[in-house]
Structures are given as C-alpha cells and as structure tokens.
Amino acid sequence: RREMSGGGVGPAVVVSRGVGGAGAVAASDAGAVASRRPGNVEVVSLAPVLLADVRANIVELGERTGAAARAAALVAEAEARITAVREKTERLPRRRVSLLEWVDPLYAAGHWTPELVMLAGGIDGHGHSGARTRRMPWSDVQACTPQVRVPPGRGLKPGPAQGQLHTLPAPSRFTHLST
C-alpha cells in the first residue's frame, strides 16, 4: 500500500494470475486497471506451473513489496512441511487418486496439484505435473480406477467439501471410495 494524494491509500503492486482458467486475469487487463490508478502502480503477472514456481512467486512478491524476509520465512516453512510429508509418505504404498479441480463441468487438476498428490503418497489418476487443467468425462474417472477420491477445491458450495460429495454426479461405483 502507498499513501495517495488527498490522504487515501492505494495499491503499489497489482498481482495478476497469468495461468488460464477461472479467476485468471490477463496482465494487459491488470495493466489497464493499474493505469487508471493515481501514481505508479506496478503490475506483476504470476504464472506458476510447478510447486517450485509457487515458491519462487512468493519470493518475488516479497521482494517487490518490501517483505523479502517474511517471504523467505514462508517459503522455508513450506519447504519444511513438504519435507516432513514426503518423509512420512515415501515408504507407504501408493494409492490411485481421483482429484478433481472442478465438477461442473468436470476438470482434472493440473499445474502443481499432481505434485501435491504425489507428495501426499498418491498417484494422480487424471492430472500431470506442469500440465494445464483439462476438461474430462466421468468415464476418465472410472478408467483410472481410483482408490481415493478427493473433493474438488472448486465448484462446490462454501463449507466442508466432504459433506457435499454425495451431491456429485459420480457413478454409483464410486460410493465405496475413501475420501
């Protein structure tokens, strides 16, 4: 934030999510908005594809906003947690996971989400690390023969997603899966 003439406060940095999909804002659109703001507003477009990119984006934003030390601490904390999870799951048997990004329409998770599944001890049945999310039919969910179904992060009403699993239009053969 920065002080503006007239005593107000405005943004010094506008962050744009360059990765396509719901909620993505093109850097040119963010730039157009920033150009209408008084003062010099920097536009930063982030497009993380892998988990390492997410960590690098945190560091970049910290540097651009004067919070480099805090950003470095957040990344170090995240890396410690990732290492702890990896150590707990590396000797466990891997289970096939159906993790959906969105349910209406149905999308497989992509970008860094398949990395998270792998770190947690799973094998992503639909997505591929670094790949974009993709629309898919329910037959793809069946074909991966998932052992675990993870509630989607988007496309459900606010609140606990697990309680809404029964509302998903999944074929009845998935009612026995772990969540």
Q: Does the structure show a pLDDT above 80 at 150?
A: no
pLDDT recorded at residue 1? 47
Contact 126, 135 (CB under 8 A): no
Looking from the CA of 100 toward its CB, the CA atoms found within 13 Å total: 28
pLDDT recorded at residue 86? 92
Instruction: Of 65-79, 80-94, 158-172, give the lowest mean pLDDT range.
Output: 158-172
Instruction: Give me the percent of the chain exceeding a pLDDT of 70.
Output: 67
pLDDT recorded at residue 16? 76
pLDDT digits (tens, 9 = 90+) for 75-116: 999 999 999 999 999 999 999 998 888 777 788 888 898 999
pLDDT recorded at residue 4? 44
Residue bearing the bigger pLDDT, 76 or 136: 76
Q: How far is it, in rounded angstroms, from Cα 169 to Cα 82?
A: 33
pLDDT recorded at residue 169? 52
Residue bearing the bigger pLDDT, 105 or 63: 63
At CA 97, angle to CA 105 and CA 83, rounded to 5? Answer: 120
Question: What global pTM score does this model have?
Answer: 0.73
